[in-house]
Amino acid sequence: MSYQHQHCNCGHDHEHEHDHEHEEIQGMDYDHPQPDKFHQAFNQFGPAEKDDMVTKKANDIIEAEFKDNFNDKVLKKIHGFIDLTSLTSLDTRESILKMVDKVNDFEGTSPEIPNVAAICVYPIFVSTVKQGLTAANVNIAAVSGGFPASQTFTEVKIAETSLCVSDGADEIDVVMNLGYLLEDDFEAISDELNEIKESCREAKLKVILETGAIATAANIWKASICALYSGADFLKTSTGKGYPGASIEAAFVMCEAIKKYYTLTNRKVGLKVAGGIRSAEEAVKYYSIVKSILGEEWLNKDLFRIGASSLVGDIEHRLGIN
């Protein structure tokens, strides 16, 4: 195909530009289009391990490390990793303030034991926590984005997140839209999470994968990669609402994804496990998974959290401080 000289009103000869455009089009491979960033990421990460292998490897870590990690020193550290949480339909200003008072009262009573990392509440109670909290270095976390189902308009999620931050939230926990995930609509996931992340401003974004709902290692692996490349500061297992909560298998897969992401980007993303973690023994199991896969660098409240309501009491009881 040849091109005639083409002129526009400016009087210039555009033959060269059209030839260049033609060369670019000829160079495109329409049968093998370039993969989007998520499929590129999936290729870089490789496939997830089989479910039975994940279970075996996670249990092997617990068997090898739990005994050494179950001690007072580790329990004291874990106390400082807890997001003390109340997310019930019966929450009131009074009940939330009682929880805040417990955190305030703990301050300075046991200098060798760090206070909890954060207090996590529904959006409407962020201002209540803000008004009552006097303990130092304890953050305020809010569930947002149509928690726990995430089945609402993106605009509502953005507005709710912005209001939480305006009221004083330092951290925002949102659920990934699982409908988009099941449809492999990764761009929709990314667009929504990036907009929510922008509305967080300086607050950290924890993306909840609801691992008990998506269940398989392959789904958790895929969801982790989507969240990692959509602005998540933490990956979080579960809401604790309506589906099974955290599992050591889910934590194993998410830690492996965080580790791979770090090797590719040099960016550290945290892990939060939540949903049904009530005892010190359970907490130490997750500590062991994180320590084994991600290492000592992740064993701090900036990169590892446990969302729980009754875990604080169990750890304090075992440490003899209540």
> Has 197 been annotated as catalytic?
no
The active-site residue out of 83, 167, 170, 173 is: 173
What are phi and psi for residue 271, nearest 5 degrees? Answer: -125, 135
Neighbours of 299 (CB within 10 A): 16
Give the whole-angstrom CA distance, residue 279 versus residue 75: 11
What angle separates helix 248-265 from helix 37-45, to the nearest 10 degrees? 110
What are phi and psi for residue 83, nearest 5 degrees? Answer: -95, 100
The active-site residue out of 157, 236, 285, 301 is: 236
| Burial (CB count within 10 angstroms: exposed 0-12, middle 13-18, buried 19+), residue 104 | middle
Token couple for 56: 């075996």
Give the whole-angstrom CA distance, residue 135 versus residue 33: 55
The active-site residue out of 197, 222, 272, 285 is: 272
> Has 170 been annotated as catalytic?
no
Q: Which residues contact 110 (CB under 8 A, 6 or more apart)?
A: 319, 321
CA 1 to chain centre: 54
> Has 57 been annotated as catalytic?
no
Kindly list the catalytic residues: 173, 236, 272
